[in-house]
Structure 1
Amino acid sequence: MPWNLPLIASGEPGSELTAGQEGAVIRRSVLPGGVRVLTESMPGLRSTTVGAWVGVGSRDETDGHHGATHFLEHLLFKGTARRSAMDIAEAFDEVGGEANAATGKEHTCYYARVLDTDLPMAVDVISDMVTSASIDADELETERGVILEEIAMNDDDPSDVAHEEFAQAVLGDHPLGRPIGGTPASIQAVPRDAVWEHYQWHYRPETLVVAAAGGVDHDALCTQVVDALGAGGWELDPSAPPRARRDGADAVGVGAHGAVELEVHRPVEQANVILGSVGISASDDRRFTLSVLNAALGGGMSSRLFQEIREKRGLAYSTYSFASGHAGTGVFGLYAGCTPGKVDEVTALLGSELDRLADGGITQAELTRSVGQLCGGMVLGLEDTGSRMSRLGKSELVSGELLSIAESLDRIRSVTLEDVQTLASELAGRPRTVVRVGPFAA
């Protein structure tokens, strides 16, 4: 059947939005149960990437459930009432497809890339996983060991440790400060009943967004999704609305503490240092300004950090700036890896480059270069169906605003020198967190 499609975009409700690139068309539907379906049909492509996005992340874990979100990412591949773990793996392998999943702080995604003719199979298998996972007790214990090994692997990477410690130091006790994958203690402690409760509470029609890009027919996909979810036992109430997007009110003001300095001992050859502060939220209108600021400060070989710390002084191989936004808050930081004996000098340089940006702004040449870097990177990054699918899912769950590529490029190009300096001054004026990971005295 045809579905009526109110768009989360600049178009009028009920219309279609042309993305402006080789005739690609984006459409959105709200199905019974509050399930949302978004597609970007790209003429001429034989592949499709489809993702089932569930609006739950590590941020949503209550006491006793810590680590359950990442646990579920693993367990949904371990079998359902209709399929074993091998059945799930074979379904994609026998058609040359790829399937995987990712857990974030605010959402979880199960996705697959297949030929367009195999999309009905992918929708059926992923829907079966989302609606009917067994959460078998024996499989859970097996995966408990796998996840502990995954955490141990990450803990062996000092740059990963630095980023995890930085997020916790900036965001404090807020759930956004917790590691996405959980800690060894939380993974060892969480029982099967808690994981099952977390699954039942959050994996529901109103939290689900299905996004697909490539060779996809929107109306056919909507029908496939309804059929697959119904086969999984979900009751799809025609009058049920989608769950409202999180407003982030619980995170406003998070991290508004004084300066923090933290040293973490690791017996490694190189020190890893991050300096930064609270950033801006994912829906902040200044996110395009921040992207330009980030590109100029630490986004490439011509950036200030790279030129000053690596090219001019030879103090680091890797140095960059970064930003991540969430509902209600975000983090912003500057990173470098260096010889332990140079860590104080490098930390001072990171801070001075941020201050210099805040005091004097960037030049017109830097603005032009940064805008060009971002615009080119955006277009190149959207050359594959996986990136297009992710853009749809994140837009629906995070901002509620789906911009065409042309609109996104226009927003980047509209950033001014004054915009960058104003935001840089705000960020530089916030209390700073400094995290160092290296062979320092315990």
Structure 2
Amino acid sequence: MTLPDPHEGPGATAGRQHDAAGRPSAFPHLVDVSLPPHVRRTTLASGLRIVTESMPDVRSASLGVWVGVGSRDESPALHGCSHFLEHVLFKGTSTRSAMDLSVALDEVGGEVNAFTDREHTCFHARVLDTDLPLAVDVLGDMVTDSLITAADVDAEREVILDEIAMHADDPDDVVAEAFAERAWAGHPLGQSVAGTAESIAALSRDDVADFHARHYRPSSIVVSAAGRLDHDDVVEQVQRAFGRRGFLDVAEEPRAPRRRERPLALEPGTVRLTRPFEQVSVLLGHAGLQRGDPRRFALGVLTTALGGGTSSRLFQEVRERRGLAYSVYAYSSAHREAGVLAVGASCLPERVDALVDVVRAELAAAARDGLEAVEVRRGQGQLRGATVLGLEDPGSRMYRLGRAELSGEPILGVDEVLAAIAAVTPEQVAELAAEVLTGPEVLALVGP
């Protein structure tokens, strides 16, 4: 089927532009010569953005529909609504039942799922390259035409309450939520993504439907895709799938990314939760870097060297030398006004004090003396390898494109990322360790 000229229909940007090589583009897009090879971007007049990366040597494609709303955007009365809505959108549209949505990709061997976090919601699918148009059609239908009936809301409420109970049985989930609630006390970043049993029970059908109408607008949506694909074909598919029922008719600018604000102060303290687990789960951390901080590559090297593998400082000291825990790890995360560098481990109750003392001592030593040059090189090597290996499949590239575009961060090529990691010096790592690891501390303990 041949579609009408998209320049004349709703959702198209007036005027034909050219790509970075000077060729006339079949579809309108923002020309951005800074994009990595094989990456292209289109912004429709409605504000919806489409970013793709061509991987001609694979036979699959991954698709993500990213919506710029998450748990941090919820009022106390709507706590958990983003996650609730994510569930309900799988319940059926005016043309597909819940079973139809499930069967559509199952019968071609595809996969479809979704997740909600603090700053965005993502619906994603992975299919054979020839089935990408079907995946675009299914996800577009779900996002723009969900019925959100009272019966579906009530049925899914029970599922979400069961999911909340399931997370309460997972030590890693419980300690992570306790840590966030303590670290960002009084701020939306500190509230759980799924909500509470009380907040979910109180949400009505109108609450969920109004939340959808307010936040699921084209200007807040990014469609990212990676794999064996043609960018212009994907734009055509998105315009058709999302353009039904006038969803793309209103002209808007893309929603501005969340602006970087004054750093949010981490609230220090210790939280202990008694749970009938066999081990005590420990999470100890300090304030890290805000999203987009140019020192993030140095932070990645520092985090990896501290707890990124079996040769890391913490693994060697905690497990290999002292046998205090089976595993220990470090990670960093970033939001627009806050970040964290944290260390996690689980151990038997009688070893908790010793474990915490050792972790504190190792972090204090890194803050005082920095890392040895060999540790920095090892951290760089691990980070570079993880970067390349992590981007070998279309799914990881789709995630990278969607997150970067939605947050307003530059989309860097793999070689640019590797060069930035290689440029990190021991002096930069030492300076950052002295700043990050001497700040206020949050300690969360969950167990018997």
Q: Deviations over 1:348-396 (max 9, x none)?
A: 1111111010111111111111111111111111111000100100110
Q: Deviations over 1:280-330 (max 9, x none)?
A: 112111111111000010110001110001000001002111111111111
Point out the more displaced range, 304-313 or 328-337.
328-337
Matched, 1:277 2:280: no
Residue of structure 2 equivalent to 1:66 = 79
1:417–1:299 Cα change, 3 Å: same
Distance in 1 (CA, whole Å) between partners of 2:277 and 2:60 is 44
Q: Deviations over 1:115-171 (max 9, x none)?
A: 222111111110111111111111111111111111111111112111110011111
Instruction: Report 1:153-168 matches (<5 A).
Output: 153-168=166-181
Matched, 1:96 2:103: no
- Indicate the SS of the match to 1:244: coil
Distance in 1 (CA, whole Å) between partners of 2:205 and 2:128 is 36
Distance in 2 (CA, whole Å) between partners of 1:210 and 1:400 is 16
Q: Deviations over 1:158-200 (max 9, x none)?
A: 1211111001111111111111111222111222211111111
Q: Deviations over 1:1-58 (max 9, x none)?
A: 6974789xxxxx7255674xxxx60000111200100000111322111111001111
Residue of structure 2 equivalent to 1:244 = 256
Paired amino acid for 1:111: H
Is the 8 Å Cα contact of residues 285 and 343 (structure 2) preserved in structure 1? yes
- Indicate the SS of the match to 2:76: coil
Task: State the shift of 1:339 in Å.
Answer: 1.2
1:399–1:421 Cα change, 3 Å: farther
Point out the more displaced range, 274-283 or 202-211.
274-283
- Quote the RMSD (CA, aligned, Å): 1.7
Work out which of the residue numbers 384, 389, 404 in structure 2 matches 1:395.
Answer: 404
Task: State the shift of 1:256 in Å.
Answer: 4.0
- Indicate the SS of the match to 1:308: helix
Q: Which runs of 4+ in 1 moved over 6 A?
A: none
Work out which of the residue numbers 361, 366, 369 in structure 2 matches 1:352.
Answer: 361
Distance in 2 (CA, whole Å) between partners of 1:352 and 1:331 is 18
- Indicate the SS of the match to 1:196: helix
Per the normalisation by structure 1, the TM-score is: 0.93
Instruction: Report 1:329-340 matches (<5 A).
Output: 329-340=338-349
Is the 8 Å Cα contact of residues 42 and 216 (structure 1) preserved in structure 2? yes
Residue of structure 2 equivalent to 1:14 = 31
Task: State the shift of 1:253 in Å.
Answer: 3.7
1:127–1:320 Cα change, 3 Å: same
Residue of structure 1 equivalent to 2:241 = 228
Residue of structure 2 equivalent to 1:363 = 372
Is the 8 Å Cα contact of residues 303 and 341 (structure 2) preserved in structure 1? no
Distance in 2 (CA, whole Å) between partners of 1:268 and 1:405 is 42
Work out which of the residue numbers 420, 423, 434 in structure 2 matches 1:414.
Answer: 423
Q: Deviations over 1:227-264 (max 9, x none)?
A: 211114314335x2100001143xx342344x301110
Structure 1: runs of 5 or more not aligned: 8-12
Is the 8 Å Cα contact of residues 281 and 325 (structure 1) preserved in structure 2? yes
Size of the aligned set, in residue pairs, is: 426
Is the 8 Å Cα contact of residues 16 and 27 (structure 1) preserved in structure 2? no
- Indicate the SS of the match to 1:53: strand
Distance in 2 (CA, whole Å) between partners of 1:427 and 1:203 is 37
Is the 8 Å Cα contact of residues 282 and 399 (structure 1) preserved in structure 2? no
- Indicate the SS of the match to 1:64: helix
- Indicate the SS of the match to 1:32: coil
1:15–1:435 Cα change, 3 Å: closer
Residue of structure 1 equivalent to 2:222 = 209
Residue of structure 1 equivalent to 2:41 = 28
Paired amino acid for 2:63: V
Is the 8 Å Cα contact of residues 6 and 28 (structure 1) preserved in structure 2? no
Matched, 1:138 2:151: yes
Is the 8 Å Cα contact of residues 17 and 27 (structure 1) preserved in structure 2? no
Residue of structure 2 equivalent to 1:10 = none
Is the 8 Å Cα contact of residues 35 and 412 (structure 2) preserved in structure 1? no
Is the 8 Å Cα contact of residues 171 and 278 (structure 1) preserved in structure 2? no
Q: Percentage identity across aligned positions?
A: 49
Distance in 1 (CA, whole Å) between partners of 2:35 and 2:343 is 38
Matched, 1:173 2:186: yes
Residue of structure 2 equivalent to 1:47 = 60
Distance in 1 (CA, whole Å) between partners of 2:188 and 2:266 is 15
Work out which of the residue numbers 259, 264, 272 in structure 2 matches 1:254.
Answer: 264
- Indicate the SS of the match to 1:141: helix
